[in-house]
Structures are given as C-alpha cells and as structure tokens.
Chain A
Amino acid sequence: MSEKKEIDIMESVYDKNDKAASQINLSFTRNGIFAVNVMGAPGAGKTSVLIQVIRRLKNVASYVIEGDIEADFDTKLLKSMGVKAVQINTGGACHLDSPLIGKAAEELSLKNGVLFIENIGNLVCPAEFQIGEHVKMLISTVTEGSDKPYKYPLAFEKADIIILNKCDLLPYLVFNEDFFMKGVRALNKTAPVIKVSCKTEDGFEEVVEWIRNKQKLQKE
C-alpha cells in the first residue's frame, strides 16, 4: 500500500474541449471557412435570423450545422433553400461541443465560405464551450425582456455581435432599451448591438456587412 498524498492538477474541465476547438478552428481557417457560433434562448429566432442573413450573403457559400436536442425541422427548411446543412441531435445535452462539430464538419466538406453553427437554444452553457468558431453571435429578443444581460452575463460578455431580434414587437411590449444597453455595455464594450426583425426584415444589411468585414479580416 502506498501512503496518502495530494497530487496537484490545476486542469480546467474545459481544457480537452478547448484543445479540440483550436484544432477545428485551425482546419476551418485553412479551408477558408469563417465560422459563426450562433447562440440564444429557445425560440429567440436563431434559425429565422440565419435565413435572413444567408439570403443576403450573395456570392458567398453558406453552410449550416444545426444543433438541436431533437427533431430536424430547421435543417429541412434550410436545405429547401439550397443551403448545405447538417443536423446534430445531441439527444439531450444542452450545448454543442467540439467533437460533435468535428464530425458534422466532415460531412459538409467545407470549402471557402461562412459556416453558421446554430447552437442549442440555451443562454447558459453554449457560452462556455468553444466549438472552433471565429466569432460568437448572440441572438437576444425584445420579448425576453431587457434584464437578460444582468441574468446571463457570460453570454453577453463573450459575444462578438449581439442581435436584438423581434423588434417589430416593440410597440406591444415594455422593453427598456437603455437598461438593456447599460447592461450590455458593462459586460461588453466592443460587440455591435444590431436591432432587427425577421418579420419586417429590417436591420439585416448591417449584420451581413459585419460578417463580410470580419470574414475579410480573417482571410488577411
């Protein structure tokens, strides 16, 4: 019997995932792929926003990986638009992780374009797990209320772009935009906050321009 001892570890629980994510990110970059991790609460409009964005991303090959706990309605819809899409069913897990993305990416045989990864509808854990993305896009909505930055600070802190969706519904709601923006800016000084509506289709030109610029920067 050996004696008792303490072994120092200091290893992050995310470490393995983060390393896999760096590998995937590198392979995306090498293949000319700009990867966007799309996060947001269930029903925030992640798929709806992607549809609006992809329609406007003319002359750019768009790919989509759809993360979903179950079902594949979203993927079918995208495919019917001619987008190369693949579905990942996590069977209950609440976020996508790097090994899942690695597999799905192979299926799509990605080359030169933009890959959108629609994460599981959830505001908590997707923010923690890198999945090889170049940028994180957070979809928040006016229907969720203006206190979301205060309740889910990490998602807002980590986002590179924040889309405020469903703005067509503003006349019917009490949404304190100043309070919302104050929270966002305390957490995140740089991410643009862009107001959009998938119903009226307003605001998407700015989103698309941001993506194009970021994609260009990545290529250089």
Chain B
Amino acid sequence: MIIPMHEYPVTKRIIEIAEEYAVKNGASQVNQINLVVGDYCGYVASSIELYFEIIAEGSLCEHAKLNIERITPKLKCSACGELFVRKPFSFECPYCKGEGVPTKTGQEFYIKSIEV
C-alpha cells in the first residue's frame, strides 16, 4: 500500500507545474518535460513514468514525453575536498580514506524546462 502511492502526489505536482508554465506561455500542448531527479530524493524514476501516463491523460501533458535526467549522489571528502560516489555501507573517500559528507548532488528534484 505504501509503495504504489509514493510517487503519485509528486507526479501530479509535476504535471501541474508543467501546465502552469504552458498556459502562462500561451501553449496548447506540452511536448516534453525535462525533469531532474537525484537518486537520493526518494523517488523512483520508473514509478514517476508509470503514474505520468495515467495522470497526464486529458491534460496539456497528455502527449508529452517525460525526459528524466538522473543524478548519482556524491559526497565531498572533508579531508581532501574531492567529490566521490560512495561505496555501499561506507562514507570513506576512495582517494585519501578521509570521511565524506553529504552534498546536494543527488537530492535534486526539479523541473528544468518544458518544450511546447
């Protein structure tokens, strides 16, 4: 019950935003939505796609292509300052064995643009 509902409200919000901007720009149809999704944002790209088709029906986004750019989370080493992708069950820097701290990279969840 929890998993299937998860992406529904945010997908609805994505379509709302796209429609809002389309209307503002006098467009009658959205052809593509360019969405940026970090892998840590808690939303699964494939589920968003699934809901998108259902929710977009009858909206300005009905025929839109959903283009999702996924971002791999990166940590920043507190010792050497390098950005790196972490290994499972570790936050260790691969360069100097220092400790990585979270960055915003991977937490993205925004609509970059739409094509109308």
Question: What is A's interface to B at a CB cutoff of 8 Å?
Answer: 2, 4-14, 16, 69, 92-94, 97, 120, 122, 124-125, 127-128, 147, 150, 153-154, 157, 182-183, 186-187
Contact = CB atoms under 8 A, between A and B. Distances in A.
Given A5-B115, A10-B112, 4 more contacts: A7-B25, A8-B113, A92-B5, A154-B107
B42 A4 contact: no
B17 A186 contact: no
Interface of B: 1-2, 5-6, 8-10, 13-14, 17-18, 21-22, 25-27, 31, 40-42, 88-91, 99-102, 107, 109-116
A128 B6 CA distance: 12
Given A94-B6, A125-B6, A2 B109 contact: no
Given A153-B102, A187-B102, A11 B2 contact: no
Contacts of A13: 10, 13-14, 17, 109-111
A183 B1 contact: no
A120 B42 CA distance: 15
B114 A124 contact: no
A42 to B, nearest CB: 9
Contacts of B27: 2, 7
Nearest to B110: A12
Nearest to B35: A13
